[in-house]
Each structure stands twice: as C-alpha cells, then as structure tokens.
Amino acid sequence: MFTKVNYYYFDKLFTEEFCDNVINVGNALKDQEGIIGSNGERNAGGKDLKVRNSNVAWITDFKILQGCKEAMQEANRRANWNFNLDLNTDLSAQFTKYSKGQFYDWHCDSFQRDGRNRKLSFTLNLSHPSTYVGGEFEFDYRDTKKGSRIETVKHVKDKGSCIVFPSYMWHRVRKVTKGTRYSLVVWLQGDSFK
C-alpha cells in the first residue's frame, strides 16, 4: 500500500500546559526499558540495546488520549489516507523518555494480531527544543530510487507539535546527546488492509 502523503503534522497543536501535564503523569508511573516490536524486527518482543535504548511507561488517561485520537482521525482525513480505523478500541499511550545516549534505531510500528493491523502512528513532542540535543525524528523511504532516502522531520521539533503517519513507514529517533527528550506515542488499529 502506497500513499501520496507520507506523513501529516500539526504545529504546536497541544499547549505547553498539556505537554507538562503528560510529562508529570508519565514520570509518576513506573517506567521500563523499551522493547523491540513484533513487526519482524530481530529479537521481536525483547530487548536489544543495539536497536532500542529508551525508557517507557503506559498512560491510559482518557483526557490525554482523546486529543491524540482526534488529531489522528483528522490527519487520516486531511492526508486522504482514509484508513478504516477501529475507533472504539481502548487506547493506551507510550510515554517515552530518551535521556543522553538513548535512541530507537530503524523500525516500523505495523503488526497484525487477531486480524487487526496497526494502521496509524502518532508521535507528540512533549519537550521544548532547548532542553535537549539530538533525538531527531527521521523517515527512511526505502522504495525511493532518486535522491535522499532519509528525511529528518523538522516540523515536530517544537513542544506540542505532533506527527501522524502510516504505521508501515520505517522511522527512527536518533541518539540524544544532551538533556532529555520526552514524547507520547499512540497507535490506531483497523481491519486488514485491502
């Protein structure tokens, strides 16, 4: 499945107060080391510090998740993906903390379980850009034959900005070299692509 729009972003959609609240909620939760997904990556479902080094916690607060879900639905419409999404699923969000030296190398978020596919991924930057160095969000357009395959997404560097993209797209978060980068990640599922 290919689309003309690789990703959709919202500049400063969420307020600084909202972002600070999410950071406070996330930091109050017990965190764990991030694991590798089940989308065909090596060591799927386990830990591999060569691929991923980050800390995560899981947020289920409806007030936080509702705005994320609405942004994803709007991006799905505006980008003309029009993916069939299961909007009644209980969501949880991955609160991710990248401290100095932490990163998440190339991966895609899509996987299938029980006839359901992850279709849309959402990442909200919770940190002010002056509080960390590195941690760039990048896409790898593996099917591109001309020009650069790698795109560093600068649109989501500002606090409160977010990006929505099809979960099958390869992406990474580069190593943070100073400070801490906080983000919130949400996925929406749907039936199999047709």
Whether 1 is in a domain gets the answer: no
Domain span at 54: 8-191
Instruction: Give a yes or no: residue 22 inside a domain.
Output: yes
pTM comes to 0.89
- Do the domain assignments include residue 3? no
In a domain, 173, yes or no: yes
Packing angle, helices 62-78 and 16-28, rounded to 10: 130
Residue 162 lies in a domain: yes
Q: What is the pLDDT of residues 20-33, one digit of tens each?
A: 999 999 999 988 76
Tell me how crowded residue 177 is: count the other CB atoms within 10 A of its CB. 12
Number of structural domains (the chain) is 1
Q: Establish if 2 belongs to a structural domain.
A: no
φ/ψ of residue 48, rounded to 5: -150, 100
CATH number at residue 103: 2.60.120.620
Closest CA to 100 of 133, 137, 65: 133
Residue 87 lies in a domain: yes
**What is the per-residue pLDDT for 38?**
45
pLDDT averaged over every residue in the chain:
88
Is 109 part of a structural domain of the chain?
yes
Dist. CA 179–CA 90, nearest whole Å = 33
Which pLDDT does position 168 carry in this prediction? 93
Give the model's pLDDT for residue 145. 66
pLDDT digits (tens, 9 = 90+) for 130-155: 999 999 999 998 876 666 789 999 98
